[in-house]
Structure 1
Amino acid sequence: MLSWEYPPLLVGGLGRHVHALATTLAAAGHDVTVVTRQAPGALREEYAEGVRILRAPDDPARFEVHDGDMLAWAMAFNHTLTRTALRAARTGDYDVIHAHDWLVAHAAVTVRDHLDVPLVATIHATESGRHQGWLPHPHNRSIDDIERWLAAEASRTIVCSDYMSDEVQRLFDVPAAGIDVVPNGVDALVWSPRPRAVAAARRRYAEADGPLVSFAGRLVYEKGVQHLLTAVPALRERHPGLRVVVAGDGPYRKDLESLATEGVTFAGFLTGHHLTALMGASDCYVVPSIYEPFGMVALEAAAAGTPVAVADTGGLAEIVEDGVTGVKFPPGDPSALAEAVGSVLADREHARRVARRARRRVHDDFAWPGIAAATVATYDRARADDARRVTREAESVLATTSGRAWSAPGGCP
């Protein structure tokens, strides 16, 4: 597997996804190697949780990211990632390359060609989707091109929802037969908060008698946090003492802080028990995304036992059943968001029933062993597709050679 993030280096949900998938595959008896970025203080190579991990250090030349333009940095990263992956290839017998998103595309195709094994690509999100179909700068259009190229080079493409399947078909002309929908998984036990940690989070973030609402994620425009912040005054008017905690970091943080009113706390980037405790301490967890391919964080909050209110968009629309496992509101509508969250806070007994049903669904439908098994099925299809391609190419060469032989001068073979 190739990924630009992996614990302890985490940027968003992709790194958590790759870690859970890799370790679950390893626990099922598969040999898994993850090649990723070097994290400060982390070992260059190690075996952890059954997974062989190789971390590619940065080359001496530094490429800074300005205004979201990651292309120069990504190209430099792919050089060092490729060298590290080829070093792994010398000591392993691999059946498939699995690339996670455009940031590893060049390394993935290079290693695929070197090993002559099929390439599977997971498209976690698209540049077009992140910008609501608008690609304003040359680097946005280049990323879109790299995503299209990766999808074209892959033997099979994995997406996390029917919504993303439709998007990849529409944007990149990938046939539906070449796409497998495999949802993201959640380890319900990992997201079960400790009672003492929940109590501590409650003391830290909530007022004595007021409800606590939370959000966690990368602070970028498409996550829709601005709409949650706009809804805060109306929520506090209806629910005195209400507080909202925004956990996470990102390029949009300063803009969001400028929108914040009384009752809002920016907690910064939280991981592990700190994030789980915040979710468990909350009376409602909000996912106000404008664009959301899946919405794994909604399932993580549900696993923590917290009622969720989500924007009715993308993958969120598929994984949350309104009034049954959560509540929905139209994306980009602060008034509707306030109504949805308010309905959760106004009827605590109904909210608890919804939360219990959601937690059961996480356990039944999104456990990692099932997700890993579905991913292995994609690997098997990729290998079968690749074998058929090789056979067709061999037959074509044979037919061409045979045709040339029979057309020799004098009619002799």
Structure 2
Amino acid sequence: MSRILMLSWEYPPLLVGGLGRHVHALAGALTEAGHEVTVVTRHCSGTLREETIEGVRVVRAPEDPPVFETTGGDLLAWATAFNHALTRAALRAVRSARARGRRYDVVHAHDWLVAHAAMTVRDQLDAPLVATVHATESGRHQGWLPDAHNRTIHDIERWLCAEADRVIVCSEYMRGEVIRLFGVPPERTRVVRNGVDALRWRARPRAVAAARARFAGVDGPLVSYAGRLVYEKGVQHLLAAVPALRDRFPGLRVVIAGDGPYREELELRSGPPVTFAGFLTGHELTGLMAASDCYVVPSIYEPFGMVALEAAAAGTPVAVSATGGLTEIIEHGRTGVRFPPGDPAALTDAVAAVLSDREYARSLALRARARVVEDYNWHSIATRTAAVYDSVRARPGLLPHQTSPPLLTIPRVLVG
């Protein structure tokens, strides 16, 4: 069994997207399997907090003052200060473990936002480093890195992948992306798909009834989306399809749950059948999914698409764009329907196929939920992740790729 020091920039109850839910579920499943897991993450209060939750040791580092404002998506100043706080908290956890005669076997970093802290702690422990790349900056911008901070994030991702003994990705699509973008040797990559706790996403009847009462009309179907409101999630294409869907299904209602920098612009594009519900969690979110006649994932870029599996676990038929990892987890006509990304007309036809045939929709939902239970349970995901840890624990020293630092793009500065 392994002792794992896991670093993540989000962890419940502080959630931004799917990464925090992934780390939480993985840490819990590893603990249930007998591993010792410490998660070092951030905390918005002014004091460091340590607690044990469901067997997982959680160290929450307060953000260093001053509070950095982020503009235009530039997180670099904030990320630098955050990594300092995270490093300090992680080293405290290391010292505490040593005082108890214990040693961490593996450092596991989740995405670029914890890269600097992860490598500092790795060096202090002389332990192997495993990195999970949940998404890439290039992918989020469809291959275009418009500003200096985007290119810097891309370089940090490349640095993290170059330093890691193993790089975990959530789909074959993402495996190809990190190999192509960062030159990671194929033998150092591992595909470990995301998991879903099917029981957690089974909504209570009371929550379903509340969602129907709040969002659904009396004479038409309910279509929903939940996630971050950013360009690459493709919500703009769902909104573009609403008029045509409303023509086919006059009483149709659409709910957009979530928040993000794109919300204001999306709201300006929407009409009366669309409700922006804000950020929903817990029973409100599962209730909305289960109450929906179709759940839509209209992403332009989606490394995996865990939310599609969560909706399937809630018993809802799903319509997803045929991009990234979504094509690997949703089989068209069997566990859901697919449509080309960025195509509102095709999205309309796919959703209409679900809404117009209740038996077809029910068969899609039943097969999808069965597949979630069988193939995407967290016990299996934890077993595969632990196998990655085992593959790096016996390393004799630095791997060949770690003998020299990777080349980073250093901007030229003109002086005088």
Aligned to 2:208: 198
Alignment of 1:17-28 (within 5 A): 17-28=22-33
Aligned to 2:36: 31
Cα distance in 1 for partners of 2:349, 2:307 equals 21
Cα distance in 1 for partners of 2:65, 2:180 equals 40
Maintained 8 Å contact 2:47/2:61: no
Higher mean C-alpha displacement, 375-384 vs 116-125 = 375-384
Q: TM-score, normalised by structure 1?
A: 0.93
- Alignment-mate amino acid for residue 303 of structure 1: A
Aligned to 2:67: 62
Aligned to 1:387: 396
Give the Å deviation of 1:64.
Answer: 0.8
Select the residue among 82, 96, 112 that pairs with 2:87: 82
Shift in alpha-carbon separation, 1:390–1:281, aligned structure 2, 3 A: closer
Cα distance in 1 for partners of 2:265, 2:129 equals 40
Identify unmatched segments of 5+ residues in structure 2. Answer: 1-5, 98-102, 403-416
Q: Helix, strand or coil: the match of 1:91?
A: helix
Give the Å deviation of 1:136.
Answer: 0.2
Q: TM-score, normalised by structure 2?
A: 0.92
- Alignment-mate amino acid for residue 146 of structure 2: P
Cα distance in 1 for partners of 2:64, 2:378 equals 35
- Alignment-mate amino acid for residue 171 of structure 2: S
1:267 to 2:269 alignment: no
Post-superposition Cα deviations, 1:215-271, rounded to whole Å, max 9, x if no partner, equal 000000000000000000000110011000000000000010011012000000001
1:53 to 2:58 alignment: yes
Alignment of 1:10-409 (within 5 A): 10-40=15-45, 44-92=49-97, 93-384=103-394, 386-387=395-396, 389=398
Identify unmatched segments of 5+ residues in structure 1. Answer: 394-413
Shift in alpha-carbon separation, 1:267–1:171, aligned structure 2, 3 A: same
Q: Helix, strand or coil: the match of 1:387?
A: coil
Post-superposition Cα deviations, 1:320-377, rounded to whole Å, max 9, x if no partner, equal 0000000000000000000000000000111001100000000000000000000000
Q: Helix, strand or coil: the match of 2:167?
A: strand
Give the Å deviation of 1:62.
Answer: 1.9
Maintained 8 Å contact 2:44/2:63: no
Give the 4+ runs in structure 1 shifted more than 3 A: 39-43, 388-393
Question: Whose helix proportion is higher, 1 or 2?
Answer: 1
- Alignment-mate amino acid for residue 341 of structure 2: P
Cα distance in 2 for partners of 1:355, 1:62 equals 45
Give the Å deviation of 1:389.
Answer: 4.7
Cα distance in 2 for partners of 1:81, 1:167 equals 28
Give the Å deviation of 1:43.
Answer: 7.1
Cα distance in 1 for partners of 2:144, 2:156 equals 16
Cα distance in 2 for partners of 1:139, 1:357 equals 43
Give the Å deviation of 1:88.
Answer: 0.2
Cα distance in 1 for partners of 2:336, 2:48 equals 41
- Alignment-mate amino acid for residue 232 of structure 1: V
Pairs aligned (count):
392
Cα distance in 1 for partners of 2:47, 2:289 equals 28
Post-superposition Cα deviations, 1:149-189, rounded to whole Å, max 9, x if no partner, equal 00000000000000000000000000110000000000000
Q: Helix, strand or coil: the match of 2:347?
A: helix
Shift in alpha-carbon separation, 1:319–1:113, aligned structure 2, 3 A: same
- Alignment-mate amino acid for residue 211 of structure 1: P
Cα distance in 1 for partners of 2:209, 2:48 equals 35
Structure showing greater radius of gyration is 1
Q: Helix, strand or coil: the match of 1:343?
A: helix
Post-superposition Cα deviations, 1:247-304, rounded to whole Å, max 9, x if no partner, equal 0000000010011012000000001111000000000000000000000000000000
Q: Helix, strand or coil: the match of 2:218?
A: coil
Aligned to 2:10: 5
- Alignment-mate amino acid for residue 36 of structure 1: T
Shift in alpha-carbon separation, 1:236–1:63, aligned structure 2, 3 A: same
Cα distance in 2 for partners of 1:183, 1:278 equals 25
- Alignment-mate amino acid for residue 15 of structure 2: L
Cα distance in 2 for partners of 1:80, 1:276 equals 34
